[in-house]
Structure 1
Amino acid sequence: MIADLDRPALWAYRSDYRPPADFDAFWRSTLDETAAFDLDVRLSPVVTGLRTIDVFDVTFAGFGGHPIRGWLRVPSDRIERLPAVVQFHGYASGRGHPLDDLLWASAGYAHLVMDTRGQGGDYAGGSTGDPVGTIGPAYPGFMTRGIADPETYFYRRVFADAVRAVQTVRTLDFVDSERVAVAGNSQGGGIALATAGLVPDVAALYAQAPFLCDFRRGVRITSEGPYAEIAGYLGAHRWEVEQVFRTLAYFDGIGFAARAIAPAWFSCGLMDGLCPPSTAFGAFHAYGGQKEIQVWDYNGHDAGGAQDLATAVSAFGAVLQK
């Protein structure tokens, strides 16, 4: 069953989201605050038994100087500087196991997957805490942590961490700093989109079924998944509706999309009840660079699955591989 709008309506849809007047100043201040801490990149080789891919345990300083973990996977036979893909994972997941997700390194990229702070208690384990903790009341999950104020909201720290992840791969002597792409699905797609808006010289973007876009619409039309956390919170804090959406306006993927210019590939499934396709189209239509979107009529939050990945590998190859 179609969970949202049909194809013609999606192409016609334009979100009524408008960024706050100080959106750019807020993020400039956030990144300046983060830049006050040394990046402090640390790589530790991991013994995996793999013959064609080297794996490193990575730590770098994110927002507040907090240590952020990740896996770096690179082809063992590297000679010249490599293009890189920085990947962000789905909601409540973590960086997983060193042997997970060997796709990008197998395709010839340096591949950094960033652990999202505080997450990793669900289907793939994480290793990064969030020292800030919960500020004020919150609904179970991550969507409402610190939501009373943009300065304290959970995703302020996450998006700043993501920018630092791009900076981290750019410090590596075997990476071509001008050929760094960002990628992710669901929450990871939303983080990648935010990163493309905050680091406009990234080389490419891949966002599969992106989350964290068009918050007002997402909260209104779906009762599933993380958007429902916001609705649950507002059900108990009825007087905070406008303040909550004021905070979320600084973190909406549509605001970042309008500031991003890298070639981008989006995807969504018409039966997606977690991240309604209109929210992805809201970001897609606002996107400031060359863009394509693949719509899958009979898929939900999985969107195109491996076929989307095949598209991304081909697209990134055309843009990033010399």
Structure 2
Amino acid sequence: MPAFAHEFPFDPTYGRTREELLRIPAPAPPADFGAFWQSRYEAARAVETAPEVGALVEERDGVRIFEVTYLSVGEVRLGGWLVLPAEGPAEHGFVIGHGYGGRDQAGPDVPLPLPRSAALLPCVRGMGTRGLVPEIPSVADGHVLHGIASRDTYVIGDCVADLWCAASALRELVPGLGALGYAGGSFGGGLGALALPWDDRFGAAQLTVPTFGNHPLRLTLPCTGSGESVRTYHRTHPEVTDVLRYFDAASAATLIEIPTLVAPALFDPAVPPPGQFAVYNALPPGSPQPHILQAGHFDHDGTETELKALSEARAGFFAQHLTDGEA
């Protein structure tokens, strides 16, 4: 296990060895878990997303990056970035989720996982300068609690719908795309796990240090991320456990049927590794082996090397599963 010098008041490995992490299960979902999410998916698919392409922001790495907006559930118009090949038609399509804190630009999500690709990089509601909604907190600690008293009002459900609507908008803007790829890390990794079981438009996915895995266990683990806000809320509102059961990324992962590459970390102060590994462990037999990171949400001497290796693994994974082996 990694032994990083740190000043956290807890152990970001949570005392688990790699072998122990690989045995952490997913909690059993509620009996109506599937019906709940299928209903939300159908509502999202019924949305006329009316995407609008705005200004060209920049051209680099063989693509042009445009501002874009689209409608999601609740008639909320969200912003983000549309990425298109600088030359020739798009042969692949991606929806790329972001971490907690949102995104203010396309940034490190470009270059895309595969060349000759189009992508929609949405800012889900409440996040980033282009996803701000007046009544939703834009800071992670507040955002993760918004509407949490009920499964029907919890903001995380609508954020998942924002990803489904992003896929709809991308397909409208770039007709003829085949199966889409999904990539997301941290917050975007957890949202992706919740979104993927219901949407057959996606053909492969890559989730990095995914959050929201195994909520019953997460509630026992201190952290520096949004989970700490939920833990604090739970102390005075223990009934929230019944709501969280519907938003467990590990429970959802048991139902993912497409190839999914998970990159969990052994050491992570923001998203406890036991929850990350629970997402990977929940995938069906025959899923790709995990791409295990030494650390997540923590800069160390090997960070740049790890990120480069992950980028290469992601590209190879999508080349295999979205292009029949043709890079």
Q: Distance in 1 between matches of 2:232 and 2:109?
A: 34
Cross-structure match for 1:228? 228
Q: Distance in 2 between matches of 1:257 and 1:51?
A: 33
Cross-structure match for 2:241? 245
Task: Give the 3 Å change call, closer, same or farther, for CA 180–106 of structure 1 in structure 2.
Answer: closer
The answer on 1:130 being equivalent to 2:133 is: yes
The answer on 1:149 being equivalent to 2:150 is: yes
Cross-structure match for 1:164? 165
Q: Distance in 2 between matches of 1:276 and 1:51?
A: 34
Q: Distance in 1 between matches of 2:132 and 2:77?
A: 8
Task: Give the 3 Å change call, closer, same or farther, for CA 22–75 of structure 1 in structure 2.
Answer: same
The answer on 1:290 being equivalent to 2:280 is: no
Q: Distance in 1 between matches of 2:159 and 2:57?
A: 29
Aligned residues: 305
Q: Distance in 2 between matches of 1:306 and 1:205?
A: 18
What's the CA shift for 1:168? 1.7
What's the CA shift for 1:171? 2.0
| Helix, strand or coil at the partner of 1:260 | coil
How do residues 83-162 of structure 1 correspond to structure 2 at under 5 angstroms? 83-94=92-103, 96-98=104-106, 101-104=109-112, 107-120=115-128, 126-130=129-133, 133=136, 140-162=141-163
| Helix, strand or coil at the partner of 1:291 | coil
Which string of whole-angstrom CA distances, capped at 9 and with x for unpartnered residues, describes residues 59-91 of structure 1?
A: 111121210111011111123x42111101111
The answer on 1:30 being equivalent to 2:40 is: yes
Task: Give the 3 Å change call, closer, same or farther, for CA 51–30 of structure 1 in structure 2.
Answer: closer
Q: Distance in 1 between matches of 2:22 and 2:211?
A: 19
What's the CA shift for 1:47? 4.5
TM normalised by structure 2 equals 0.85
Cross-structure match for 2:9? none
| Helix, strand or coil at the partner of 1:181 | strand
- Segments of 5+ residues of structure 1 without an aligned counterpart are 121-125
Q: Distance in 1 between matches of 2:184 and 2:68?
A: 19
Which string of whole-angstrom CA distances, capped at 9 and with x for unpartnered residues, describes residues 212-260 of structure 1?
A: 111121221123211100122233x2xx21x211111111101221121
What's the CA shift for 1:129? 2.3
Given that 2:262 and 2:280 are in contact with CA atoms closer than 8 Å, whether structure 1 keeps it comes out as yes
Given that 2:179 and 2:201 are in contact with CA atoms closer than 8 Å, whether structure 1 keeps it comes out as no
96-105 vs 51-60, which moves further: 96-105
The answer on 1:13 being equivalent to 2:24 is: yes
- Segments of 5+ residues of structure 2 without an aligned counterpart are 4-11
What's the CA shift for 1:106? 7.0
Q: Distance in 1 between matches of 2:271 and 2:108?
A: 25
TM normalised by structure 1 equals 0.86
Identity of aligned residues (%): 23
Q: Could you tell me which amino acid in structure 2 is paired with residue 212 of structure 1?
A: F
* Aligned CA-pair RMSD: 2.4
